[in-house]
Chains A and B, each alone.
Chain A
């Protein structure tokens, strides 16, 4: 066996989607499913107690929630094939309640699986090269990537080969299955950050140096949760051949200094915050210089093998703009709005990137029915080389649509209730499941999202307001990214009631910032009023070209706080 074969043979984890299973991966996943079936049987027969069984079920993505079990299915780097999307729909119909929830971690959650059925569900997933591994536990979680990977015009390089390369590396290292806490990595290869890399434990940004060589800017110590932090740069330019060794050095420093005594303090972000980035950088550099790096030698052959799986589809050569598209826009204003808001530029002339919003006005953010999943699968086959992406904004992306086909695609989506033209607007809200499903929640989050969405149901008003990220979490774990919402909403319990804390000024991109608290908590009924007042104030104050966050940064938090205070005095009882 060559070194590459050996590495593949030992790989104790399964990749998926455009990165296709080889026989080792397939065998590994089947083994895991068989093993879990056995564990479930032993649990049902009483041979395993819940305490003994719990780690096994979590390793397979199965949680116990408020009303039922919940199964979290991995969608690495958010990439799905049409066949996989159809299988997700079939599973929803056969073993769940006809729908699924796409999450901000680019996963899919089923809300109602029965314990007895989960081995069958996992087997059905394995059949289309999917699984629920590394969606839970103190391991390196699924590596996430820009959902416009491979198609964005602002991209230096597709981040997915790097993400897959890292996934294989991290799966190989059993010592990293026993980290002090879970560990999240995100990669982007573009000039704009759509993967929120500054709020991950490790964020990687593909960069080019003066000589044109490709490397990575490495950011460490970001995160949300109860103590949010923006990551700090630990390596400005790490050449590709040093990447694994460099990351290994970071993990060693973390394993050496990281706190295992307190699970809230065990995240790398706390280490970076307590020691300071300069000390961490020095420790990482010293470790990197001293370690035996031969075990982490870059394997260009393996990298190229992985990259080949992400090769572009067979694009046609087309004119840069489409006369058909122009005519259809003139004829159908609703379509024109959809194109203006949900369709983005593609790096290949004549193509476009389409965001299909899973945020209909008043709907549950991120939920899709099995019927809608099938429509999306078919749309991707007819108009997009059978490929789909899940974005961390909980939407679905069709990454390669011919501009000439946009009108036909829109008509098909519209008929299925999937043509809401609100990508990036105030009703494109990220929301975690909150107390409607989640056993950790302190308050509901979905109904808040629905109420805000309905308040801004006038789409022309939404377009006038422009880009505005509203993000809602149902507890301090921050799964709904509220810390990085331009308007963030956190559901808490206050005196036995649901209460909502509002923050302003969060930003998940390269200009990342954590939101600042606006004032005392408000009730669920008050949230849409407060959001509306804030938005109206922004509209009154904004200067040409400013998004909400820009105006907030320019005029300052205090002015927005005054809005809330004045409203309170006016009798709005806030």
Chain B
């Protein structure tokens, strides 16, 4: 198992429309700020297990953990630029994607 360095959240793509989703307290959320945060390796493993369950239940695909930092409001923000893009949408089309308030579950 990789060394646990940062808090993590679980990211996936919604099966029916491919929208990026985050595992929240009670199911998948389209807003990463509502994602459940794992602060220890065993919490991260528990998130992953839930995600795998939802792959089997055909709700989501392409599930993985992403490192985050926690803001003063307690909300997580991804650390890597790839996931920073995924929580917003294309940087060249600010009128599209989550950053434009698009998408729904």
Contact = CB atoms under 8 A, between A and B. Distances in A.
A and B found bound together: yes
Given A437-B90, A447-B91, A66 B85 contact: yes
B46 to A, nearest CB: 22
A566 interface: no
7 contacts: A44-B15, A64-B13, A67-B18, A67-B20, A441-B82, A446-B92, A447-B92
Given A44-B58, A46-B58, A496-B80, A114 B92 contact: no
A65 interface: yes
B55 interface: yes
Contacts, number: 71
A436 B91 contact: yes
A436 B92 CA distance: 7
A520 B93 CA distance: 30
Contacts of A45: 58
Interface string A445-467: 01100100000000000000000
A496 B81 CA distance: 8
A115 B18 contact: yes
Interface in B1-35: 13, 15-20
Nearest to A435: B85
Most buried by A among B20, B58, B92, B93: B92
Contact of A68 (B18, B58, B61, B85): B18
Interface in A263-312: none
Contacts of B55: 50
Interface residues of A, number: 30
Interface in B43-79: 55-58, 61-62
Given A436-B90, A450-B92, A65 B18 contact: yes
Interface string A91-102: 000000100000
Contacts of A441: 82
Nearest to B58: A46
Interface string A67-94: 1110000000000000000000000000
A50 B61 contact: yes
Task: Name, among A64, A66, A444, the residue most crowded by chain B CB atoms within 10 Å (CB to CB).
Answer: A66
A377 B16 CA distance: 32
Nearest to B82: A435
Contacts of B85: 66, 435-436, 444
Given A46-B58, A114-B16, 4 more contacts: A49-B56, A114-B17, A115-B16, A446-B90
Contact of A114 (B18, B20, B58, B89): B18
Interface of B: 13, 15-20, 55-58, 61-62, 80-82, 85-86, 89-93, 96-97
B3 to A, nearest CB: 16
B86 A69 contact: no
A528 to B, nearest CB: 16
Contacts of B57: 46
B91 A68 contact: no
B74 to A, nearest CB: 24
Contacts of B81: 435, 496-498
Contacts of A191: none
Nearest to A113: B18
Contacts of A68: 17-19
A65 B14 CA distance: 12
B17 A67 contact: no
Contact of A115 (B17, B62, B86, B89): B17
A43 interface: yes
A366 to B, nearest CB: 12
Instruction: Give 5 nearest A-B pairs by CB, closest first.
Output: A68-B18, A69-B18, A114-B17, A436-B90, A46-B58
Contacts of A496: 80-81
B16 A44 contact: yes
A219 interface: no
Interface string A510-524: 000000000000000
Contacts of A447: 91-92
Contacts of B16: 44, 114-116
Contacts of A218: none
A69 B17 contact: yes
Contacts of A498: 81
A204 interface: no
A364 interface: yes
Interface in A96-129: 97, 111-112, 114-116
Interface string A486-507: 0000000000111000000000
A116 B17 contact: yes
Contacts of B97: 67
Contacts of B58: 43-46, 49-50
